[in-house]
Structure 1
Amino acid sequence: MVAPRVLFVVNDPVAPPALLGDVFTDLGYDTAIFEVVPADAADTPGLTVEFPDPLAYEVIVPLGARWAAYDEALPWIADEMTMIRDADAAGVGVLGVCFGGQVAARAHGGTVARSSEPEIGWCPVDTDAPDLVPGGPWFQWHFDRFSAPAGSTVLARNDRATQAFTIGHTLGLQFHPELDGPLLRAWLANDGAEAAALGIDADALADQTARLQSDADRRLHALVRGFLARVARQPCPS
């Protein structure tokens, strides 16, 4: 039996699949990675990018990025939106994470704008569909937020942003379910000044992450299984 395939779209070199890669592997998926902006171009990200054919995969997962999903200096964002629309129309599941969720929202006619209040850290999320997007604290690191596209279903929210929506075969998330300790350390090393400017203590955030990680892992597995079964309608082999 041929294993189903998932493509992780790594928009930013400091935003890898992390725990999401582990979960899809645990579920029997062959994983592939496509780098949009490589590490040596992070300071000059206005590249021309040729995206892979999403129809070669059962699921694509556009991940986070430090840039704004409405930045017109990044021509590849429009191409990524086209890839997402093509995938969804062909029945390929799309799981957009933070920046990836914002790009997915735009791809389907939603908007992205600066948030009145950024979110960095573990934040409460209320859900209407706990078997698909479990509630509870999820990790956030964003200064922008999406509006859900017309015709979509908003599944989760908090007092600062819409946190999850579905449309077609797409699930868009504002939070970062993939975060683990090593990824947090990488983000603090890369963008710790942003957190410090908001009065966030890096050591306290790392301690909180260690305490919450086990339960977050459990909820992440439930989220991916729910996404595969109910949104992507793709196989969950194990």
Structure 2
Amino acid sequence: MRALIIQHDHISLPGLIGERLAQRGYELEAVTIVPAGRRHAPTVDFSFPDPGGYDLIVPLGAPWSVDDEAIGGWVGGELKLLREAHALGIPVLGVCFGAQALATALGGSVERAAHAELGWLGIETDVPELVPPGPWFQSHYDRFTLPPGAVELARSTAGPQAYRIGRSLGVQFHPELTEEMLRMWLDHGLAQEARDQGLEPQDLLTRTRELGRGARRRTFDLVDAFLDRVARP
């Protein structure tokens, strides 16, 4: 089984999601759209692979908005890939930006969230056996609106947190996060964003370390439930 991992920049990695998929027998093929040297100038040319060659597609997070003009040169290609995957019945697990992109590709939209979310937060879930209540790591300013045919599964005061459509699942939070990844995110701008919201970067790291074992288990449970309940034919 082959899984296409869409990394929008060099620090948006599959982390715990990739680890569990590998344990479940998936061969991970990662593509990175914006290289390290272009993160602040993400207008790059990128050719997406044919989704028909994969059994699963996982578009990850990104520091941009789906409707950001700076990524207009390639985001259309990603939306096309996600529409084609849906039409072919290929499961998609969209994470944060990836969930917003999937929603947009299928007729929903992206808009500013009621408020920003950053840090480890709980969510209200209708299906805890599929989407546990957390806490999950959040880092976003936007939210998605549901595409036609999607079912909202979880939410917070900022907006929807999870939805299902066909064989696909989109989540607004970051189940893939590891402490090492958070350190990279903080070094590439998230530390200042945290301070702007009255948070201490070191507190985020400490909390991530404290929650590490439970967060790992929740992510594995989410991936397993997605594969067994949603992605299966």
TM-score class normalised by the smaller sequence: over 0.9
Partner of 2:42: helix, strand, or coil? coil
Partner of 2:174: 176
Alpha-carbon deviation of 1:228?
Answer: 1.1
- Provide the rounded CA distance (Å) in 2 between the counterparts of 1:136 and 1:47: 36
Q: CA deviation at 1:61?
A: 0.3
Partner of 1:203: 202
- Displacement of 1:40 in angstroms is 2.2
User: Is 1:139–1:177's contact at 8 Å kept on the other side of the alignment?
Assistant: yes
Q: Distance in 2 between the 1:151 and 1:126 partners?
A: 21
Shift of 1:161: 1.6
Contact 2:9 2:34 in 1 (8 A): yes
Deviations 1:46-94 (CA, angstroms, capped at 9, x unpaired): 1222101111111010001001111133221111011011111112110
Cα RMSD for the two superposed structures: 1.2
Q: Is 1:140 matched with 2:138?
A: yes
Whole-angstrom CA distance in 2 between matches of 1:178 and 1:83: 22
Are 2:99 and 1:88 aligned?
no
Q: How does 1:7-156 map to 2 (within 5 A)?
A: 7-74=4-71, 75-156=73-154
Show CA shifts across 1:100-144 (max 9, x none).
111011011111111231111001111111121111210000011
Letter in 1 for 2:15: A
Q: Which amino acid aligns with 2:230?
A: V
Partner amino acid for 2:10? P
The TM-score with structure 1 as length reference comes to 0.94
TM-score (norm. length: structure 2): 0.96
Secondary structure at 1:73 match in 2 = helix
Which region of structure 1 is more displaced relative to structure 2, 148-157 or 225-234?
Answer: 225-234
Contact between 1:91 and 1:232, CA under 8 Å: does it hold in 2? no
Contact 1:64 1:97 in 2 (8 A): yes
Distance 2:149 2:88 in 1: 18
Q: Distance in 1 between matches of 2:41 and 2:206?
A: 34
Secondary structure at 2:34 match in 1: coil
SS at match of 2:227: helix
State the secondary structure of the residue aligned to 1:209: helix
Residue 186 of structure 1 corresponds to: 184
Q: Measure, in 2, the Cα distance between the counterparts of 1:114 and 1:158.
A: 14
**Secondary structure, aligned partner of 1:93:** coil
Task: Quote the offset at 1:217 in angstroms.
Answer: 1.0
- Residue number in structure 2 paired with 1:162: 160
The percentage of counterpart residues that share the same residue type is: 45
CA distance in 1, matches of 2:229, 2:147: 19
Q: Tell me, in whole angstroms, the C-alpha distance in 2 between the residues paired with 1:38 and 1:136.
A: 32
Q: Does the CA-based 8 Å contact 2:179-2:209 persist in structure 1?
A: yes
Distance 1:145 1:173 in 2: 10
CA–CA separation in structure 2 for the residues paired with 1:31 and 1:49: 19
Q: CA offset at residue 169 of structure 1?
A: 1.9
Aligned length: 231
Give, in whole Å, the separation in 2 of the partners of 1:143 and 1:231.
27
Q: Where in structure 1 do 4 or more consecutive aligned residues deviate above 3 Å?
A: none
